[in-house]
Chains A and B, each alone.
Chain A
Amino acid sequence: MGRSKIIGKKKLVRKIDIFDFSSERSEESNSIFKSFDYVQKTQNENKMKTFIKIYFLFLFIITFRQAKLEAKEIIIDKSGKITSIKQALRMCQDGDRLLIKKGYYKEYDIEINKRVQITGEGMPVVDAEFKSGLFHIKADEVRIEGLIIKNSGMSFVTEYAGIKIDSANNCVIRGNKILYNYFAIYIAYGSDCMIENNIISGRKSKSETTSGNGIHLWYCKNITIVNNKISNQRDGIYLEFSENSTIEDNISEDNLRYGLHFMFSHRCVYKGNTFRRNVGGVAVMYTKHVHMYNNKFENNWGPASYGLLLKDITDSEIKNNLFHENSSAIYLENSARLKIDDNNFIDNGWAVKIKSNSMDNEFTKNNFVDNTFDVATGSIKNHVIFNKNFWSKYTGYDLNHDGIGDVPYKPVGLFSAIIENNSPAMMLLRSLFIQILEVAEKVVPTITPVDLEDAQPLIKSVR
């Protein structure tokens, strides 16, 4: 049976699914919806008709071209008939499967404009020898699996990449090792693609300009990035104007700039990722509806390093994350309506740095443990709500044993307020004089923001 026909059937099933959904709705015999449903039903019927027409046309074409469209398997082998991927791509048809046998293939600028599936057997190596990019996908539903893709060229003009997907949908990149490239995976104007189980490592370049991003999305939609391991690139994962994507269980570490970097990428979900030892940590900007759950931000340590830098982020949720040993765990600038709950802040320089242009952010049920400074803010006014957090530095008491301290906790210390306005004073860190001042300020607050406090600090840590 032709592969296209199967897909055709799949499409039919999908269409019927839509039908089922609308008919379910009409079953909810709600009087307000009834008339609306009727209109929709007729519309759907019309749609169905046109669809059936198209389907038969499609079937017709398929039967007509049946002989040609039989899904072939083309074997590429160094000792076989077909020795190069490009050669195989010239021969193949839509729906074919290209099996690359183990070997070393020195090829670059491999343009894929047919719907093919490329599978490596025993991890064959495709090496561009630093000349140009490698795979350039221009067709939908292309799959690339089980290859070692390495040594793309570097250019300041062209974005050479290990795998570049250009305006294509439903592509799958799975189980590859993408090594020493300028960009590893670069998707522009793509949608519904899946990037899974890849190991990506860059060239250990010294400067940011001579290194590209690990996974780079530009104007993309519905991309799923799961279980990849990215290191030594410029930004581990980079999204710009890319929406509704899921980034899950990836490890992004030792990158030259940020582990994760996105801008204008609304409604994306980040779950269970680990961002570790990146020079700049994680920086995200100009985005609404960000959801970050169960991620780990670790060891992002340096003068300009942040566990999570949030600039112009609004209406987002940051939950159940771990921030461990970052010089600043969370940095908030011009961000509003964030819900930051159930996170662990452990051994950071600053747990939270808040610029005074951030408003209506809520910190609830977080653990703040052994941070040099818990909260720093430049302003004496407070626009942040802290409630029911656990602070390891809290020294209050709980007379009625309800688990909530009877004395509010003020997370902004005197010294952190001083250095916010007078940075050279930082060299007095841990000076006896400062320690004496801290005690005095705790008793009578004068320069720390009076109303920035956790009115209900927890006595025991959450969980």
Chain B
Amino acid sequence: MNTILKIIKYELRDVIRSKWILIYFAFLFMITEGMFQFSGSSSKVLLSMINIVLILIPIITISYGIIYMYSSREFTEMLLAQPINRKTLFTGLYSGLALPLSIAYIVGIGIPFIFHGVEENTQIPILSILLLSGIALTFVFTSLAVLISLSSDDKVKGLGIGIFVWLFMAVVYDGALLFGSYLLSEYPLEKPMVGMTMLNPIDLARVLLMLKFDISALMGYTGAIFKKFFGSPIGMLFSTAMLLLWIIVPYQIAKRIFVRKDF
């Protein structure tokens, strides 16, 4: 445990030194603060933050994660020469990447909200869901980034795969869903749609946020089905489990590769 903490500490120092994480923080902070300045109402800011969380966090996390993993390869190799358990080293590396990103995200968005406050107490659960799903997405895409960078030694190829994965989850998957729903429009699709949403972490986070924003009323019958499922304890459990799976599965595969890899 101590070693993990030590590695995280070194990596944190490294990450902060590279200043990218500070830029990320400043960027989020300025967007949130800017929205508060322009729209003035916290409910509108929250609604706009959905786009930030769902689009920007995945792409920034995955590309930054991949680039960082490749550029810190020599540091990793140096550490591997030390008498450190590979699993411990991997955990340290992963946390050193995911934690600063999450912290930058929470602080960047949190500060303006603390500063301006929310209009109604009902917005506090919305804000917490927003922060939690952002963190979950950060962890998911860090796992994917680590997995991708370890499975390919070619930097350009790795980055290409990373961007494709993001594109697939953010755009292509939804396009396929829409196409499929047209193709099978004679069938009751609400429940399969719930299932399909669960398979994509971005969609899952989006639906969770939508339901919290009370837009579910607009969704009519589909919304009712979604609300019934995701609003129930089982649905909550399922969606949390799905997000955890999306974090753990790539993480475990990456760990396996890391432990066996011949650097």
Contact = CB atoms under 8 A, between A and B. Distances in A.
Contacts of B219: 303, 426-427, 429
A432 B171 CA distance: 6
Interface in B188-218: 189-190, 193, 197, 203, 206-207, 210, 214-218
Nearest to B55: A432
A432 B174 contact: yes
A303 B181 contact: no
A182 interface: no
Contact of A425 (B50, B54, B181, B217): B181
Contacts of B215: 349, 372, 429
Contact of A424 (B193, B207, B216): B193
B103 interface: no
Nearest to A432: B170
B83 interface: no
Contacts of A380: none
B233 interface: no
Nearest to A326: B217
Interface residues of A, number: 25
With a 10 A CB-CB cut-off, give which of A301, A303, A424 has the most chain B CB atoms.
A424
A428 interface: yes
Interface in B205-263: 206-207, 210, 214-224, 226
A427 B207 contact: yes
Contacts of B222: 423-424, 426-427
Given A424-B190, A425-B181, A427-B207, A432 B221 contact: no
B128 interface: no
B182 interface: yes
A429 B47 CA distance: 12
Contacts of A228: none
Contacts of B50: 430
A431 B174 CA distance: 7
Contacts of B193: 424, 427
B187 to A, nearest CB: 10
B30 interface: no
A14 B52 CA distance: 72
B175 interface: yes
Contacts of B221: 303, 423
Contacts of A301: 214, 217
A31 interface: no
A315 to B, nearest CB: 30
A426 B203 CA distance: 12
B71 interface: no
- Most chain-A Cβ atoms within 10 A of its Cβ — which of B51, B172, B185, B218? B218
Given A373-B218, A427-B210, A433-B170, 16 more contacts: A303-B223, A303-B224, A327-B217, A349-B215, A422-B185, A424-B181, A424-B189, A424-B190, A424-B222, A425-B178, A426-B219, A427-B193, A430-B54, A432-B54, A433-B174, A434-B178
Pairs A-B, 5 closest by C-beta atoms = A433-B174, A349-B218, A424-B189, A426-B219, A327-B217
